[in-house]
Amino acid sequence: MTNLPPAAVLIAGAMVLPLLPSRIRGVFFLLPPALALLLLLRLSPEAGLHVDFLSRELSLLKVDRLSLLFGTIFTIITFIGGVFGLHMKERRQQAAALLYAAGAVGVVFAGDYLTLYIFWELMAVASVVLIWSRGTEEAARAGMRYLLVHLAGGIVLLGGILLHAAGGGSLEIGPLAPGRNGTAPWLILAGFALNAAIPPLHAWLTDAYPKGTVTGSVFLSALTTKTAVYVLIRVFPGWEILVWAGTIMALYGVVYAVLANDIREILAYHIVSQVGYMVAGVGMGTEMSLNGAAAHAFCHILYKALLFMGAGVVLHTTGKSKLTELGGLAGRMRLTLALYMVGAVSISGFPLFNGFISKSMIISASGEGHLSVVYLLLTLASVGTFLHTGLKLPYFTWYGPDRRIVPSAPPKNMTAAMALAAAGCILLGTAPHLLYGRLPYPVDYHPYTTAHVVETLQLLLFTGIAFFFFIPRLGGEATISLDTDWFYRRPGRFARRVLVDGVRDLFEEVERLAVGAASSLARRSVNPVAFFARAWGRTVPGDMPYDPHIQRPPIQIAISLTLLFAVILSLWATLR
């Protein structure tokens, strides 16, 4: 049992769950992630599992501190997500969520690229079900775009893996160096970068996550991008291009959150921003920055899931998710607001909350690396995070103009799940050693220095003051913001007309002609003698029925034709 991959437990649970009665499926959902967590906590760094597949040895289980860290948080958040969706009865969505988590955990413990790729694609296919299950036309379209983008990214990733292997590279997962093995590392990086939502490959996230189901978006916010961060840490540490890509991400997400009106879209853009810190940390490549990227991924999963749960409760109880449609809910949703604010101050980096102990590691690593511009821009992005997720979203959702909305009471399990995530944010913020002791490298970092705490509180205070001066300009607007998805959504109509509608029309025309030809031949075959007689210029009564005993050609004609054919063959052979 100690060599059993934790993903196998989740896959088994996903297979059994649809067979169970609806009244116990929600509770059963909690069992696979709990067992997977217990299993991985018993794994030792020497544990391993190898199987033969198509003359290749696949490594289904490779354990070290980094994989244990990510495996732990993935199973924890799957359990919390299960609590949040305890009231849900839809077996398709429940099974898809377990398979999605299995894909993420499978990637974390994969020891070779082919195993990673298999679980990578499982994530893409399972996660799109959580978008389509919303059942709206918007969700259907966004889910299709999401699936096409991820399948295209998977093809690029597979191409990179095959080129890497063909060039003599090992399929064992490990750091890749730029400039070696041609374009293979860059294709692999592109495949990972898409799942990490690095601009301009990010629009699938902000397009699809706001359209997912209330419960499904919690899983979406936690798994895909953080799995990508894990493989970036594993394969591309120290790639300088990631420093600047991550810094741009951190600012890009904040800027677009200004323009967003949907509360889950605001949170989706902040995923891009927060993952930017992790990507930048990977690019710096130092032990502190890699520790910071891993720690921030761990913390981000907790507080971002908490934020999506808070937004999900609003959507579930009011049926609305636009800032321009919400307001005046504070007195009617006090507990939801309080728990949401734990996530908001966590993502903003308040002292005593988990964002403070992880984000600051990356910013400090940029300072130690003498990356002054990066240090300044990441600090600026932190200000923007508090401005929008910590102030704008809660103010215009729960305060602002009272639109006389009377929300229904949320299921108690939703509140319980938010409380679990909030407890995790506070626990790690007040006892950072619980996380630091599990990071991949020894930690020599102390976040609670006087200078750091004072500097952080000053930034947060002045951001809060600025917000209240600019409240009229920060409210949501019922507009659509153009993003990089314009470049494939706009020509998508033309591509559909040519590649889908055009091909369909062509096949329909060919089918029409073929059916017409077959019908004509069938009509003429009713009386073949009359048909050939007319072809030879002879008249035959049109109503004369075909009788093979009367109108069949005599046997001598067949014998004559056979003899003629034999003579022709003989002459041809003689002349040769």
Q: Which residues pair with 52 in a beta bridge?
A: 57
Q: Residues 390, 410: one domain?
A: yes
Q: Residues 476, 564: one domain?
A: no
Q: Would residue 409 count as lying in a domain?
A: yes
Q: Residues 244, 316: one domain?
A: yes
Note whether 237 and 175 are within 8 A (CB).
yes
Specify the pLDDT at position 537: 57
Total of domains in the chain: 3
Note whether 114 and 56 are within 8 A (CB).
yes
Q: Residues 55, 160: one domain?
A: yes
Q: Residues 442, 309: one domain?
A: yes
In the predicted model, what is the mean pLDDT of the chain?
Answer: 89
Q: Would residue 519 count as lying in a domain?
A: no
Q: Residues 148, 206: one domain?
A: yes
Specify the pLDDT at position 540: 56
Note whether 188 and 160 are within 8 A (CB).
yes
Q: Is the pLDDT of residue 430 over 70?
A: yes
Specify the pLDDT at position 24: 92
In degrees, to the nearest 5, what angle opens at C-alpha 424 toward C-alphas 418 and 426? 105
Q: Would residue 373 count as lying in a domain?
A: yes
Nearest in space to 396 (alpha carbons), one of 471, 318, 483: 471
Q: pLDDT per residue over 189-245, tens digit each?
A: 999 999 999 998 899 999 999 999 999 999 999 999 999 999 999 999 999 999 999
Specify the pLDDT at position 571: 83
Q: Residues 218, 185: one domain?
A: yes
Nearest in space to 75 (alpha carbons), one of 42, 44, 110, 104: 104
Q: Residues 211, 246: one domain?
A: no
Beta strands in 10-136 (DSSP E): 48-53, 56-62
Q: Residues 22, 122: one domain?
A: yes
Specify the pLDDT at position 482: 73
**Residue 366 CB burial class (10 angstroms; 0-12, 13-18, ≥19):** buried
Q: Residues 299, 322: one domain?
A: yes
Structure tokens at 91: 């077996």
Q: Residues 172, 52: one domain?
A: yes
Between CA 327 and CA 472 the distance in angstroms is 14
Q: Residues 278, 194: one domain?
A: no
Instruction: Note the pTM of the prediction, 2 decimals.
Output: 0.85
Q: Which residues pair with 49 in a beta bridge?
A: 61
**Residue 146 CB burial class (10 angstroms; 0-12, 13-18, ≥19):** buried
Phi-psi region of 537 (alpha: psi -120 to 50; beta: other; left: phi over 0): left
* AA letter at 417: A
Q: 194: how many CB neighbours lie within 10 A of its CB?
A: 22
Which helix (H) or strand (E) segment is 173 a member of?
A: none
Q: Would residue 490 count as lying in a domain?
A: no
Q: pLDDT per residue over 144-201, tens digit each?
A: 999 999 999 999 999 999 999 888 888 899 999 876 667 899 999 999 999 999 998 8
Q: Would residue 437 count as lying in a domain?
A: yes
Q: pLDDT per residue over 38-63, tens digit each?
A: 999 998 877 777 777 766 778 888 99
Q: pLDDT per residue over 244-265, tens digit each?
A: 999 999 999 998 888 888 999 9
> In terms of residue numbers, what domain contains 552?
524-576
Q: Would residue 497 count as lying in a domain?
A: no
Specify the pLDDT at position 458: 92
Note whether 81 and 417 are within 8 A (CB).
yes
Structure-token match 């902000």, residue found: 206
Q: Would residue 232 count as lying in a domain?
A: no
Q: Would residue 62 count as lying in a domain?
A: yes
Query: Which of 427, 461, 482 lies at the terminal end of a domain, its last residue?
Result: 482
